[in-house]
Structure 1
Amino acid sequence: MKLVAVTNLTLRCRESVSQPSAVTLAAADTGLKGAAVVNQTQIDAARKGQITEAMKAVAQAESMDVELLRSRIAEGVICLPANINRRATSYCAIGHGLRTKVNANIGSSMDNASIEHELAKLKAAVDAGADAVMDLSTGGDLRAIRQKVIESSTISVGSVPIYEAASRSARRYGNVTKMSADEMFDGVFMHCKDGVDFATVHCGVTRQVVDCLRKRPRVCDIVSRGGTFMEAWMDVNDRENPFYERFDELLDMLHEYDVTLSLGDGLRPGAIADACDMAQIEELRVLTELAHRALDRGVQVMMEGPGHVPLA
């Protein structure tokens, strides 16, 4: 599963800041005819001392003082995913002092691309008590499936935009490595616009991180699908990871729709033998820096992890 405070069924998060909630907080009157309404994100509101309806709902569900919740959202240790384009019926917050959240992964494949099947999976997840669901579809009409899941879900919805970008590239060019950097960003934009509350992006798979892997080979190499896509793209195109290189552009996009950034752990270990190796630690270092940059920009953030590591 893609981690987002709800991640790998484990849920360790690093929350951050930035999201407007389905509740549009403050619309600024610029005085200009036809000017666009300015939406305030959850973290923007929290940092101004404002308590949103989403915060009230979460505080009640978590039996937490709403002012304490607000202060922790402002600090970036709790995130409250809530895309401004999605009218949520319930909210799920992740982070310090909150109960552990469970995320359920669903998604079509090339062999089974039925929207009805995905909606049945969604219902099963909700009925079982999942706090969030991720659409990881790779087969069929990916946008139609995602939009229907978002429309039908009563819980938070997340996605991994690179999956769709890679699928489109494979269909269009016959190879996932032929997609352009702009096509990757177009994918993120589409998911934000459609209403996903959180998105996993593998920004930390950099050339330096991959070099660590080559110097110290693993038993299981790269086990993250998104991480594999990014490593292959960088290798074939001899370029840096666009999401790392153009991270500020990514943050602007996420902030606009108040989408929580789930920093994907592309180099997470797939075997205990690879736990805490040079590549994993270097990626975590990069992700830590990016998490701080996201918070500075007012974008809520959490980190995936940790993969296959010893429990003690």
Structure 2
Amino acid sequence: MAYATSTSAAYTMTASYGSGSTNWGGDGYSDCVQQCVASYATMATVTASATATATASAMASGTGTTHTIYVAPTQGVLRMVPFAVNATPGDTLYWIWGANNHTVTKSSELSPCNTTTDGTAFATGEQDMGATFTETVNDTNPVFYYCATPGHCEKGMFGVINPPSVDNNANTSVASMMPAMMANSSTLSAMYAASNISSNPVAASWGDNMDMGAMPEWSQSLMAENVVYTRAFLAANPSVLSADGTVNLGAANGQFAVPQDISDALSSSSGSSSASASASGSPSGTAAAAGIASASSSGSSASATATGSTSGARANVASGALLGVAAIAVTFLAL
């Protein structure tokens, strides 16, 4: 079933600075991080059209709950927002493209950047800003999906419906793994430092009991970045987050702030910084960061118990200019 779309809407730019602090040493990478952090703190306020809001409301009035997910909330942000959604049978998954050249393609936990071969795959093909796609949830089994545009998933553009969960204290939970991962990743630490996560305890604990245990090792850091970015998004838009950690993007009334994502810029600069550090004998640009409080705390859950099998009912992709977004260019120092 296709859904109505509308013309693009206006946007404004506002500044919102984070509360974290850190010290990456005195090398050039530190300068890059500091400037990227300052740039990351600037957010775009995106306003969806009245038609888009009415469409989402109409969908929510049907059987089950409608879960809205943005496929790149703005140009240049390679994230699915929110990264994880808990849904029950009869619910509707409603993806909205906030930027151009992205897909929604089913994958698997063991291979998050490859199309699943279990016979239940869905794939939208590459779509542009304003496109929409729906799937009906048949059970609570975990469903992983990604953007199949070359290079996007490898930068973290994947998501999960009904993520596997464990107790917060389990060794493979996000709550248990995140502190060490942040201590050993200047990218994760910088993302936290530039956000307002610490100002919102519910956002700061969002996704704590998601289980990283079965994820390929290479993808665990990307999953952690997705969790941190979603936490930053929720902290910037507290109205969409309920006390139990449930996310409802419809509660923003069509307007929400989109934090910039500096992970790609930091990743690009890390290689140059490492080479420079090696030549001079100084620490690598990926050295452990100091002074960052953990974004994890006991609290809300973003997962569901996995049972049954999943193959959502196929839906159509509807293209159109549903909403307007600002293209954000992240700048950083040339090393």
TM-score between both structures, scaled by the size of structure 1 = 0.25
Structure with the higher helix share, 1 or 2: 1
Q: Which has the higher strand share?
A: 2
Scaled by the length of structure 2, the TM-score of the pair is: 0.24
